[in-house]
Structure 1
């Protein structure tokens, strides 16, 4: 590959959940994400900062798109996925408190060797979600 080819960042990320009603209640209701669209029992999409979070029902996407206008290839995943949200230290503290108060257990809450804090919790489909300070990967 050419040294001149550079990616600007991620535009979208996908998780999979068979129960889209439960996913929607969690991502819109608990996390407060802005819903972009939902198509029946196939997918629900959310805006997260300058990215889009795609939640697909793997039972529906494994066959690919039936639309000739949008020929998306088949895709899907089995098991629990992982996604990390960017958050400041005060935001992480507030989220940890709010999630636990709402009955969502914090599975892990720790500081990495560089001092960045992360919390881990689950969505209704069992996906592992993390909130971490950007300095986990990038200098402050």
Structure 2
């Protein structure tokens, strides 16, 4: 049997938060993502263009799901997500986040010249905005 080609992109990213409402509100109202699915007390799924941000309560996912049958998963502690942004958008993001009262934890240029901005969501996950050239991708 032939080996499949490597995946072309990440379809979804999971983050964990005990307060789903507060954390989902951050991704909707501050970041601008659109909620697609919500199961109160378990998860909120949000669309980010061609991918999804999945917010799970880490305790609720330890049992897995019944319909569909999803294996148990979850983690405790601070996760990380990085949103792709163009250099010209990073100042606008920094200004927007500051106007929303969200502290910029770090704003710097990497050795290769790509810039990153880091903040925290309400669940303390690290949220980064970075230029795609950070990893050698075109804008």
* TM-score (structure 2 length as normaliser): 0.93
Aligned residues: 138
Is 2:26 the partner of 1:21? no
Is 2:66 the partner of 1:78? no
Hey, what's the Cα distance between the residues in 2 that align with 1:78 and 1:25?
Answer: 20
| Aligned partner of residue 52 in structure 2, secondary structure | strand
Unaligned runs of 5+ in 1: none
Hey, what's the Cα distance between the residues in 1 that align with 2:95 and 2:131?
Answer: 16
Hey, what's the Cα distance between the residues in 2 that align with 1:123 and 1:31?
Answer: 10
* TM-score (structure 1 length as normaliser): 0.93
Is 2:3 the partner of 1:10? no
TM-aligned CA deviation for residue 139 of structure 1: 4.2
| Aligned partner of residue 62 in structure 1, secondary structure | helix
User: What residue number does 2:109 align with?
Assistant: 111
Hey, what's the Cα distance between the residues in 2 that align with 1:60 and 1:91?
Answer: 36
CA offsets, 1:106-132, max 9 Å, x none?
000001111110000000000001000
Is 2:61 the partner of 1:61? yes
Is 2:110 the partner of 1:136? no
User: What residue number does 1:89 align with?
Assistant: 87
Give the CA RMSD over aligned residues. 1.5
Hey, what's the Cα distance between the residues in 1 that align with 2:39 and 2:4?
Answer: 38
Change (3 A) 1:93 1:2: farther
